[in-house]
């Protein structure tokens, strides 16, 4: 996509005009999520926090392509939003949505010690509750981030 610059939309529209299918819908969703503009990403991020805004499969395609691991500034911006919203999403959204939201948007790619500490604090806060999915996801991402930081 980077090689296309901003012509990607015309290229995709030409393709859609020839043979449009569910595969094309998912491709378009992935491309929109991967556009590296903070304003574009903010609009998508905000939509992730609206209950029933997304079909589950469309959300999974979008959120999987949301983070740009090569843009630290934008990554830090959304890392802060991730930690500000993680408990809200866990409490107020379906567990399948939360699982995808967490796994696709957790900012471990930044390899920040501060994020590791925040994940640990969340795990400690919830490990004696019945939020087993949350604590399992936290444990897995803590392990992954510890490995990334050690490398």
Place 6 in a pLDDT band, splitting at 50, 70 and 90: low
38-47, Cβ contacts within 8 angstroms, sequence gap of 24 or more: 38/74, 38/77, 41/66, 41/74, 41/78, 45/78, 45/81
Contacts of 129 (CB under 8 A, 6+ apart): 135
| Residue 136, pLDDT above cutoff 60 | yes
Are 142 and 116 contacting, i.e. CB atoms less than 8 angstroms apart? yes
| Residue 15, pLDDT above cutoff 80 | no
Query: CA torsion angle for 74, 76, 77, 83 (degrees, to 10)?
Result: 140
Give residue-wise pLDDT tens across range 94-107: 999 999 999 999 99
pLDDT at 8: 65
pLDDT at 3: 47
53-to-49, 112, 123 alpha-carbon distances in Å: 8, 31, 28
Place 1 in a pLDDT band, splitting at 50, 70 and 90: very low
CB count within 10 Å of CB 76 equals 14
pLDDT at 5: 53
- Coil, helix or strand at residue 50: coil
CB count within 10 Å of CB 12 equals 17
Q: Over the chain, what is the mean pLDDT?
A: 91
Whether the pTM exceeds 0.85: the reply is: yes
User: Which carries the bigger pLDDT value, residue 96 or residue 22?
Assistant: 96
Q: What is the mean pLDDT of residues 104-127?
A: 97
Give residue-wise pLDDT tens across range 62-93: 999 999 999 999 999 999 999 999 999 999 99
d(CA 74, CA 42): 10
Write down how long the chain is: 151
């Amino acid at each position: 996509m980077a090689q296309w610059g901003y012509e990607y939309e015309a290229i995709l529209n030409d393709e859609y005009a020839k043979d449009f299918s569910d595969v094309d819908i998912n491709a378009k969703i992935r491309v929109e999520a991967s556009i590296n503009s903070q304003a574009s990403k903010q609009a998508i991020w905000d939509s992730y926090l609206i209950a029933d805004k997304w079909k589950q499969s469309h959300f999974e395609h979008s959120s999987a392509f949301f983070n740009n691991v090569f843009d630290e500034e934008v990554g830090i911006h959304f890392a802060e939003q991730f930690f500000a919203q993680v408990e809200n999403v866990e409490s107020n959204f379906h567990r399948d949505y939360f699982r995808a939201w967490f796994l696709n948007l957790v900012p471990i790619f930044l390899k920040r010690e501060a994020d590791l500490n925040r994940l640990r604090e969340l795990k400690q806060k919830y490990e004696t509750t019945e939020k087993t999915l949350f604590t399992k996801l936290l444990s897995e991402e803590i392990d992954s981030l510890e490995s990334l930081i050690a490398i």
